[in-house]
Chains A and B, each alone.
Chain A
Amino acid sequence: MAELARKVKPLLWVWIALLLLLTTSTASAYANLGSFNLIISLTISAIKTAVVATIFMRLGSTSNQGGHTLFRIAACLGLLMLIILFALSNSDFLTTTIYRAPWQSPAEVEVH
């Protein structure tokens, strides 16, 4: 029974934390915080992800606990690829000026 409780407690705490983080992100979205809204919501998502990955998915566990270094490497590599895709693509998109065609009326195509 004690062994059961020992295994269940971290999982329970994670679940509660996840629901609390969800509440926070939803609530904060209703406050007008400008660009911080995005930062907060994505940060909360990142924290939720870290918690799910580390504890539920045993990414933080050693081989004896059901994890392995290789799992961490695989996860990091996937994330790294995502970052590379975003970083280099945006090095183009954020440094390009798009010229809208003269016949496009401003109301139809948003100009920024």
Chain B
Amino acid sequence: MNSEVSKENYLRDGFTLTSWLTTRDHKRIAILYLITITAFFFIGGAAATLIRLELATPQGDLVSAHTYNQLFTAHGVIMVWFFLIPSIPSGLGNFLIPLMIGAREVAFPRLNLWSWYVFLLGGIVTLTGLFLGGVDTGWTFYTPLATMFSNRHVIIVVFGVFIAGFSSIMTGINFIVTVHTLRTPGLTWFRLPLFVWGIYATSLILVLATPVLAMTLTLLALERIFQIGIFDPALGGNPLLFQHLFWFYSHPAVYIMVLPAMGVASEIIPCFARRPVFGYRSMAYAILAISTIGFLVWGHHMFVSGQSLYAGLVFSLLSFLVAIPSAIKVFNWLATLYKGSISFSAPMLYAFSFVGLFTLGGLTGLFLASLALDVHLTDTYFVIAHFHYIMVGGSVAAYLGGLHFWWPKMTGKLYSARWSRIAALLLFFGFNLTFFPQYLLGYEGMPRRYHEYAPEFQLLNVLSSAGASILAVGYLLPLIYLGWSFFYGKAATSNPWQAAGLEWQTTSPPPTENFNDTPVVNDPYDYKIENDHKTEGDYKTEVHAS
């Protein structure tokens, strides 16, 4: 094949496995990540399936308590570190960031490829540990259970997470340097799409928080091996030391999961409302504020752990503060819709899901941030519902929305409009059926991490499990119709959604070097209804035809 021709489409620039496994193309690395995290998603989902099956009845009849502990640990570990954290940054971000800033590549392409291999290695090590017999400590690995009493494979699993952490750090360094040094001339910071702002702020968290986790897990492993350490009260150590160090990372980690999602929403909503995003600067500042304040609130996971009341007050107050920039963003997304021309495409349905479900999740976060309420709600299903509303209702919805929005760009193919909307609606409905009852369960006192429960909780649990089965269908559908579109879908033009943003100025899929002609720096939210026109490449025409 003529190398000139093959370079016109990054997917055709080398068909061998080697060309994929030794690539320095950020777009191919993004695809590698997307495939890997999808696999992890379904493994973590399998654990969730067993959990919901068990919880359909009050008795612990499907699995033993011990197995159940391993299931929710596996679910948490895999979903947090091997799906959510890499999903939007390493999956979509790797593909889009250079395109959005008009660059040919990321700053360190080989580091990028290495980050995927390190991620893969971490995943294999973790799965080995989970396969060998798992861990029963919960994804939070609290001491002294994890260090002194658990007789499962803590060290292997923790080691796997440790390795994956380096992948996060490498990705973060790459994005930070890329955004600072490789913006095309004329592209100042306040002309960047909010998706770039979101990934940038996420990268700050990735590099500043992850190393603390790495050392904390190392100390955990050392204490487990040598039975000596600073977390053991018998020696004069303090289990709270572990918790402070663990949550110093793990709270910012949830912002790693949500900030990119917010970035995605900020790209989708203006496009399908045909309006520029409302309050661009305040959106950018809000992203920075969330990432900053997010570093200051970790103690709200420890209100009843033995933390001092004084520290609890400080963390509670700071946790309330972080709601403010989040709320500003929600109001701005809504304001963007005003006087817009709204289309209910699949990406838009996901974006709406994101905004609504994130809002509910965020509000319930305020409940949990209140010290007195938290005493009642902590370690109940209320907490589980809260974070699933943010991480699944929020982040996963945004991830799927982004996947659907940029799918034509990444693959050059269009997918079925009908099936994508059905899937999005199924997910919204299934999600609420699964997790809204859990708010009620938690409020009524059902504790988390128990494989059996009092019989009066059964109805809500059955509803929740039923919802989970709908969710499962909703997650499987995209695999089918997106996969089908990759092989048999109609070809997409460079800008099927008539979106603004530099990535839409190049072909679908882009050439290896990203742009054939130097991209013209524009306003990434240049949407005016009066300027909309029906052309051959209009998405409405294309998508309805399928």
Contacts and interface: CB of A to CB of B under 8 A. Distances in A.
B296 A84 contact: yes
Interface string A28-65: 00000000000000000000000000000000000000
B310 A85 contact: no
B contact face: mostly helix, strand, loop, or mixed:
helix
Contact of A96 (B204, B295, B308, B314): B308
B299 A70 contact: no
Contact of B308 (A84, A92, A110): A92
A17 interface: no
A81 interface: yes
Contact of B307 (A70, A77, A84, A92): A92
Contacts of B238: 93, 98
B7 interface: no
B455 interface: no
Given A88-B296, A92-B299, A81 B208 contact: yes
B399 interface: no
Nearest to B181: A70
A27 interface: no
A78 B204 CA distance: 10
Given A78-B208, A95-B311, A110-B236, A84 B295 contact: yes
B310 A91 contact: yes
Given A81-B295, A84-B295, A96-B308, A91 B208 contact: no
A92 B208 contact: no
A89 interface: yes
Given A70-B180, A85-B248, A88-B315, A95 B208 contact: no
A1 interface: no
A96 B315 CA distance: 15
A92 B244 contact: yes
B180 A88 contact: no
A93 to B, nearest CB: 8
A36 to B, nearest CB: 26
Interface string B229-255: 000000010101100110010000000
Given A84-B295, A110-B236, A89 B306 contact: no
B53 interface: no
A98 B309 CA distance: 13
Contacts of B187: none
A110 B235 CA distance: 10
A contact face: mostly helix, strand, loop, or mixed:
helix
Contact of B314 (A70, A81, A85, A91): A91
A77 B201 CA distance: 13
Contacts of B310: 91-92, 95
A109 B311 CA distance: 26
A88 B208 contact: no
Given A81-B208, A81-B295, A89 B244 contact: yes
A89 B180 CA distance: 32
A67 to B, nearest CB: 15
Contacts of A110: 236
A88 B212 contact: no
A106 to B, nearest CB: 13
Contacts of B244: 85, 88-89, 92
Contact of B236 (A84, A89, A96, A109): A109
Contacts of B306: 96
A96 B306 CA distance: 8
B306 to A, nearest CB: 7
Residue of B204, B295, B302 contacting most chain A CB atoms (<10 Å): B295
Contacts of B298: 88
B188 to A, nearest CB: 16
A40 to B, nearest CB: 26
Interface in A71-92: 77-78, 81, 84-85, 88-89, 91-92
Contacts of A77: 204, 208
A77 B292 CA distance: 11
Contacts of A84: 295-296
Residue of A89, A91, A92, A109 contacting most chain B CB atoms (<10 Å): A92
Interface string B279-312: 0000000000000000110110010001111110
Nearest to B176: A74
A110 B302 CA distance: 26
Contacts of B180: 70
6 contacts: A88-B296, A88-B311, A89-B245, A91-B308, A91-B314, A96-B240
Interface of B: 180, 204, 208, 212, 236, 238, 240-241, 244-245, 248, 295-296, 298-299, 302, 306-311, 314-315
Given A88-B298, A92-B244, A95-B309, 8 more contacts: A81-B208, A85-B212, A85-B248, A88-B311, A89-B241, A92-B240, A95-B311, A96-B240
The 5 closest A-B pairs by CB, nearest first: A92-B311, A95-B308, A96-B308, A95-B310, A89-B244
